[in-house]
């Protein structure tokens, strides 16, 4: 495993039941990534994630104060495919970017995936996000696919990265 050592003492796991309370800050973070207001879409995605959440293979991480996290990483299983768990949302509040929060969340996600016994960790990022791709490359992830992500009625070009867990 080639993940760098990053302090993650401000990262914490959250139960699926806490996710609805994070819909508004999550929407703010994603709005900055996609440059459009997606409040109702985020509410629908949050409801979907809560409805399928399986604590044996899914996890929700936040960074910062418990009452108001400034970064999120949400990994859930693919209910239509092979049941593989991958990161659906990985975003940091625009005001907190550039401080290593994304990397801290990613490193904590890798540890959580290992704790759950997952064989690998997959992360999809927007093709336009050079900073996310750089963090993934720096952490030893490799490109495994290119995809179009249908989100909020629009297709978005994405790059899918993956890294196997230790022992794989």
Q: Is residue 32 part of a domain?
A: yes
Q: In total, how many domains does the chain have?
A: 1
Q: Is residue 153 part of a domain?
A: yes
d(CA 138, CA 140): 6
Q: Give residue 41's pLDDT band: very low, low, confident or very high (50, 70, 90).
A: confident
What is the 8-class DSSP label of residue 99? S
Q: Is residue 155 part of a domain?
A: yes
Q: Is residue 52 part of a domain?
A: yes
Express each pLDDT in 57-82 by its tens digit. Answer: 999 999 988 878 889 999 998 877 66
Please report, for the domain that includes residue 110, its CATH number.
3.40.630.30
Q: Is residue 39 part of a domain?
A: yes
pLDDT, position 1: 42
Q: Is residue 4 part of a domain?
A: no
Helix axes 130-138, 101-115, angle to 10 degrees: 50
Express each pLDDT in 130-153 by its tens digit. Answer: 889 999 998 889 999 998 877 767
pLDDT above 50 (res 161)? yes
Q: Is residue 6 part of a domain?
A: no
Compute and round to an integer the Cα radius of gyration of the chain.
Answer: 15
pLDDT above 90 (res 109)? yes
Segment 93-99 shows an average pLDDT of 89
Express each pLDDT in 42-56 by its tens digit. Answer: 888 888 899 999 999
Range of the domain at 28: 11-164
φ/ψ of 103, rounded to 5, equals -65, -40
Q: Give residue 2's pLDDT band: very low, low, confident or very high (50, 70, 90).
A: very low
């Amino acid at each position: 495993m080639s993940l760098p050592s990053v302090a993650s003492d401000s990262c914490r796991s959250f139960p699926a039941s806490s996710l609805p309370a994070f819909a508004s800050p999550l929407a703010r973070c994603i709005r900055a990534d996609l440059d459009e207001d997606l409040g109702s879409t985020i509410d629908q995605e949050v409801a979907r994630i809560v409805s399928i959440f399986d604590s044996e293979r899914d996890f929700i991480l936040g960074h910062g104060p418990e009452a108001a996290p400034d970064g999120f990483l949400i990994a859930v299983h693919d209910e239509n495919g092979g049941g593989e768990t991958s990161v659906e949302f990985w975003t940091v509040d625009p005001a907190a970017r550039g401080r290593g929060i994304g990397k801290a969340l990613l490193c904590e996600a890798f540890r959580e995936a290992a704790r759950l016994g997952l064989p690998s960790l997959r992360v999809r990022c927007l093709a336009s996000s050079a900073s996310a791709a750089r963090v993934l490359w720096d952490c030893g992830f490799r490109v495994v696919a290119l995809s179009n992500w249908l989100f909020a009625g629009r297709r978005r070009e994405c790059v899918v990265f993956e890294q196997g867990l230790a022992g794989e």
